[in-house]
A and B are shown apart, each in its own frame.
Chain A
Amino acid sequence: MNKKFYWLLAVTIIAAFTLTACGAPATEAPAEAPVEEVEEVEEVEEEGPCLIIGATYGGPINDAGYNQAFHESVMKIKENIDCVEIIEAENVYDEAGATTTIEQMIQQGAGMIIATAFSHQDPAYELATKYPDVIFEHAGGWLMGANFANFYGKPPDVWYAQGVAAGLMTKTNRLGFVAAFPLGWTLTFANAFNLGAKSVNPDVVTEVKFTYAWGDSTKEAEVTNALINAGADVITMHVDSPATVLSTAESRGVYSIGFQNTAAQQFAPKYWIVGSGFTLGDKLTWLASTVIDGTWTPIFLRCSLKEGCMELSDFGPEVPQEVQDQVLQTVDDLDAGTIVAFAGPIKDQDGNVVVADGEVLTDDLMSNVDWMVEGMIGSPK
């Protein structure tokens, strides 16, 4: 009896592991409808694709959030350059999964890998040394190599502008930020948001609370409620999918600001202020074209709203015209450089100067931020 039980248990567990192991196969993207204009590259059509691109995502590609935004950007390459073939793998959660998935893609002939998840940076970087002929592009990291580069938008500027919107809309002078983990980028976003809000409303306080998960929906609902109960009347988020946070804010009747993907607006039809998303399609198309014609070089690519790498959504129905104008003006000023989001002097919560007077927080430091701006509520460690 007992022996039988352990046998069964062993078989069950082995079966389960086998099943989960093949849970995220690399699926080929369906062929898109033929596109009329082919940019940059022509007549390489004859035999097979001119370049196979493998793209990995840390979550589902239809999450109305980060993964969907990057999926759409990658598919834009196919739209613009007809002869490329795209292999995609979604729900690649961990580093081990990323390593095997990317290797499989290279076995299938991928000449360019686009790794979009934060956790895919290290595995991709290791594989880059193993496969020197394959070009690796990673989203939002900092590592660089001979055949490994990083690309991303400039979210801090957008967050600053969103902070301006929040600072003008709040009545309680308290903003709530739902975050997954106290990571460098997340803190940078929250800091920029707070600085933007402060620039138009000195009494504003931003509170940051963490769910300690990228996609735990019930936790997100609870965190959102806790922020609202502490007095916040504008809610924004940096978790994978905006769905739960924005739906919850809407159900409580407080304003919200979206991130990752402008599709977030659907979750808050009434109390939406504004939101932003990644639209990296054109830059990725350009990168792919340089891979095809052999002129690719590793560049640390960061590009802004004005350059088309991010987009601002429509404003919500409750946002007055003056607020809209001021937000758009801020976007212009940030782009022109007359406003710099992280211009010194900036002090952290303990009063230490983290950006000295006359200095600016540089891009490469932003990913390693471990402080919050003076006056913010939250624990950055």
Chain B
Amino acid sequence: MNLLSLLGILSSAIYSGTSLLYTALGEVIHERAGMVNLGLEGVLLVSAASGFAITVQSGNPYLGVLVSVIAGALLNMVFGYLTVIRKANQLASGLAIMFFGFGLSALIGNPYVGKSIHALPRFELPGLAHLPTLTASLFRFDLLIFLVIPTAVIVWFLLFRTRWGLGLRAVGENANIAYASGRNPLLIQFQALLVGGMLAGLGAAHIAIAYAMNWTEYMTGGRGFIAVALVIFSRWHPIRAIVGALLFSASVAVQLVLQNSGINISPFLLDCFPYIITLLVLIAWGGTKKQQAPASLGRVFQGTK
């Protein structure tokens, strides 16, 4: 294995970890507000299809990203209507949104299969100009990659250093008490879903418009679920999610490098690596009081009589 391959693993981890991290950050925000959205896979697909379609239509990848963000937010609003206004069960609504997303994204994306696009432009990192072209091309990143870590920090700041974040976490712990102390749980949950949907939209845009540069049905390949696993792995903390996203996506890259190295690890085993370490994390920290799941995660706030 040469240096380029090792750097390649890092580069692949950054590239495919970016979409994972955006999506997971969105899910951290929902879950901190007590909402578990299993429909993320569908949200990702619809955002990716819409963003890709607009990129083909307009020729402008940034417009595509914007549309992805709007589509993600819209679909999360549907989830919000079901679970916050109609008080429907969150797991059932999430699954419904997921299957809906499968169909809707196929419908939106169908005319754009096999179309070529102007992908999101990549920029040279300063100071890498003297490297060989192949190595340098590993670290030519697009705007969404540059913004993902700052976004994680902003999410952390919003959740843990602002009054809004305090209120949001209060709703996730106990919506009744938050309500009694003058917060509006319904409004806060909607806000959380709006921001979370936009972040998922960014993740989806990165998959379709920046990395794969292509639309195919079910192209997210379970990343919505890996993001949910990642949230559990990072124990609902945006900064730990950065490490998790790199680790999860590096496992795929490592598998591809190992494929022909004589070390025979089944690709199918490595594909379930994210879930295995999530299981391990659950086993290790499952019972501890500190850093547990938000107390009323998945519970529907019924309002007060």
Contacts and interface: CB of A to CB of B under 8 A. Distances in A.
Interface of A: 4-5, 8-9, 12-13, 15-16, 19-20, 23, 60, 62-65, 68, 91, 207-210, 212-213, 215-223, 225-226, 228-231, 241, 243-244, 247-248, 251-254, 263, 266-267, 377-379
A157 to B, nearest CB: 26
Interface in B189-230: 207, 211-217, 219-221, 223
Contact of A209 (B102, B138, B223, B256): B256
Contacts of A63: 113-114, 216
Contacts of A13: 95
Given A19-B103, A210-B259, A62 B114 contact: yes
Contacts of B8: 225-226, 228-230
B212 A220 contact: yes
B99 A223 contact: no
B257 interface: yes
A5 B91 contact: yes
B102 A20 contact: yes
B138 to A, nearest CB: 7
B interface bracket (residues with beta carbon within 8 Å of A): 35 or more
Contact of A5 (B12, B89, B119): B89
A222 B258 CA distance: 13
A221 B16 CA distance: 9
17 contacts: A8-B89, A12-B99, A19-B99, A64-B114, A64-B116, A212-B268, A215-B217, A215-B219, A216-B219, A217-B214, A218-B223, A229-B7, A231-B2, A241-B114, A247-B116, A247-B119, A252-B137
Nearest to A208: B260
A23 to B, nearest CB: 7
Contacts of B89: 4-5, 8-9
B211 A20 contact: no
A379 B267 contact: no
Given A60-B114, A244-B213, A378 B99 contact: no
Contact of B134 (A15, A223, A252, A267): A252
A222 B99 contact: no
B99 A16 contact: yes
Contact of B257 (A8, A226, A267): A226
B175 to A, nearest CB: 16
A5 B300 CA distance: 12
B276 interface: no
A229 B2 CA distance: 9
Contacts of A213: 221
A247 B260 contact: no
B213 A247 contact: yes
A176 B7 CA distance: 18
A223 B212 contact: no
A267 B116 contact: yes
A141 to B, nearest CB: 24
A225 B8 CA distance: 7
A377 B103 contact: no
Contacts of B85: none
B12 A68 contact: no
B256 A243 contact: no
A217 B267 contact: no
Contact of A248 (B7, B92, B213, B219): B213
Interface string B96-124: 10010011001000110111100100100
Given A64-B113, A218-B16, A241-B214, 18 more contacts: A8-B89, A9-B89, A9-B91, A15-B96, A20-B103, A209-B260, A215-B219, A217-B212, A223-B256, A229-B4, A229-B7, A230-B4, A230-B8, A241-B216, A243-B116, A244-B212, A247-B214, A254-B134
Contacts of B111: 62
B88 interface: yes
Contacts of B260: 207-209, 377-379
